[in-house]
Structures are given as structure tokens and as C-alpha cells.
């Protein structure tokens, strides 16, 4: 079971896992994605990728933005960790309830997220479920995944999905403030 945030981020992990002998199924659960049209576009892109590549796919089509916001509000400094944990816990639960022996996540593909924290969360959350976490640093396939997404004509988004990252991506004043704070 590969938790996938979108089609482009699933490409390299799927390819790698298949090369390792895994039969890969995709799972879409991403309560963070905002606005709704972006959520739907990412979901549809993942469906298209799965169809083109003959992959089994499970999709939670419910727009869980309220759950995401309830968990994040007043915890903005920990938002990525909370968001990752929500998605990983849901994925492990789904995998357990549907008879999957293994799981991993396309979150491990991103060069922009805290890779070591995601790995630790996957290891910790999976312990009590009897679903084995398959770890690999999918970031090494970043360029190949991007090129494949472009060649397949898949929609590629410009931010992780949440309302906060959307603002950080498009609000120039936030980028300037962030640079000043990191200087």
C-alpha cells in the first residue's frame, strides 16, 4: 500500500517498489489539500496515473479539510508534523483493515518535507498495527519522477497542498519574511 499525495509524487515510488517485487496499490487520503478544486484535481490526476499504469487505487473522496484545520489551528508551528501523522495513521489503519502486509508513503519522495521525521512517524505508527513499513529514500528519484510526470502530461502542483503552504508559495511578503528570519 503506497499512500500517495498526488500522481507525480507516486511515479518514482511505484517504479522502485515494483522493481523490488512489490505489487503496488495506491491510497489517496489527504485532508490537508486546499482549496477543494485543488483536492479534486490531485485526486483525479492520481486516478489517471493509476489507470494508465494498471494500478489498484483506493480513494477517500471525502474532503476532510475541517478535520485538518481543527488539528492545526493554534498548532501552526507543528502543522507539517501533525498533517503527516494524520495521513500516515489513516493509511496504516486502512492497510490493516484491508489486509495489506506492507505500506509506505510518497511523502518520502519530497525534497521539501522533513524526511527523517516522516520516516520516524511511519515506523512509530505502524508498530501496533501488524503492517510493516517499507522504507526507502525516494528522493533519489526526484528528477526522474518529475520528467516522467511531464512526459505523461500529469498535473504538477506548486505547493504541498495546505492553505499555509499555498500562502507561502504565492505571497511574496511571506517569502521575504521567511528569508529574513532564516538569515
Which residue pairs, CB below 8 angstroms and at least 24 apart, start in 73-79? Answer: 76/164, 79/162, 79/164
Q: What is the pLDDT of residues 72-117, one digit of tens each?
A: 999 999 999 999 999 999 999 999 999 999 999 999 999 889 999 9
What pLDDT score was predicted for residue 182? 57
Which residue pairs, CB below 8 angstroms and at least 24 apart, start in 90-98? Answer: 90/29, 90/60, 91/1, 91/3, 91/27, 91/29, 92/125, 92/126, 92/129, 92/131, 93/129, 94/1, 94/27, 94/29, 94/58, 95/1, 95/27, 95/129, 95/131, 96/129, 96/130, 96/131, 98/1, 98/58
4-25: average pLDDT: 97
pTM of the model: 0.91
What pLDDT score was predicted for residue 179? 59
Q: What is the pLDDT of residues 26-55, one digit of tens each?
A: 999 999 999 999 999 999 999 999 999 999
Q: pLDDT band for position 175 (50/70/90)? A: low
What pLDDT score was predicted for residue 177? 63
Statement: residue 15 has pLDDT above 90? yes
Question: Grid coordinates 485526486 are at which residue?
Answer: 43
Q: Grid coordinates in use for 25?
A: 496499490
What pLDDT score was predicted for residue 164? 83
Alpha helix segments (H runs only) across the chain: 7-19, 36-52, 65-72, 79-97, 115-126, 142-151, 163-170, 172-182
Statement: residue 183 has pLDDT above 60? no
Which is more confident, 89 or 163? 89
For residue 45, CA distances in Å to 10, 41, 51, 151, 158 come to 11, 6, 10, 14, 14
What pLDDT score was predicted for residue 161? 84
Average pLDDT, the chain: 93
Tell me the C-alpha distance between 94 and 100, whole Å. 8
**Would you say 2 and 29 are in contact if contact means Cβ atoms under 8 Å apart?**
no
**Would you say 134 and 105 are in contact if contact means Cβ atoms under 8 Å apart?**
no
- Domains delineated in the chain: 2-158 (3.40.50.620)
Q: Is the dihedral of CA 20, 26, 29, 33 positive or negative?
A: positive
Q: pLDDT band for position 68 (50/70/90)? A: very high
Q: pLDDT band for position 169 (50/70/90)? A: confident
Amino acid at each position: 500500500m503506497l499512500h500517495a499525495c498526488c500522481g507525480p509524487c507516486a511515479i518514482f515510488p511505484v517504479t522502485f517498489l515494483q522493481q523490488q517485487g512489490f505489487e503496488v496499490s495506491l491510497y489517496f487520503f489527504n485532508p490537508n489539500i486546499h482549496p477543494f478544486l485543488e483536492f479534486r484535481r490531485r485526486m483525479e490526476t492520481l486516478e489517471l496515473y493509476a489507470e494508465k499504469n494498471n494500478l489498484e487505487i483506493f480513494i477517500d473522496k471525502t474532503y476532510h479539510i475541517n478535520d485538518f484545520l481543527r488539528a492545526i489551528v493554534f498548532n501552526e508551528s507543528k502543522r507539517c508534523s501533525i498533517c503527516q501523522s494524520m495521513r500516515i495513521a489513516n493509511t496504516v489503519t486502512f492497510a490493516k483493515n484491508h489486509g495489506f502486509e506492507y505500506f509506505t508513503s510518497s511523502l518520502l519522495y519530497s525534497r521539501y518535507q522533513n524526511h527523517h521525521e516522516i520516516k520516524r512517524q511511519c515506523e512509530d505508527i505502524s508498530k501496533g498495527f501488524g503492517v510493516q513499513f517499507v522504507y526507502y529514500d525516494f528522493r533519489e528519484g526526484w528528477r526522474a519522477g518529475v520528467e516522467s510526470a511531464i512526459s505523461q502530461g500529469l498535473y504538477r502542483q506548486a505547493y504541498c497542498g495546505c492553505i499555509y503552504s499555498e500562502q507561502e508559495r504565492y505571497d511574496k511578503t511571506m517569502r521575504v519574511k521567511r528569508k529574513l528570519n532564516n538569515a
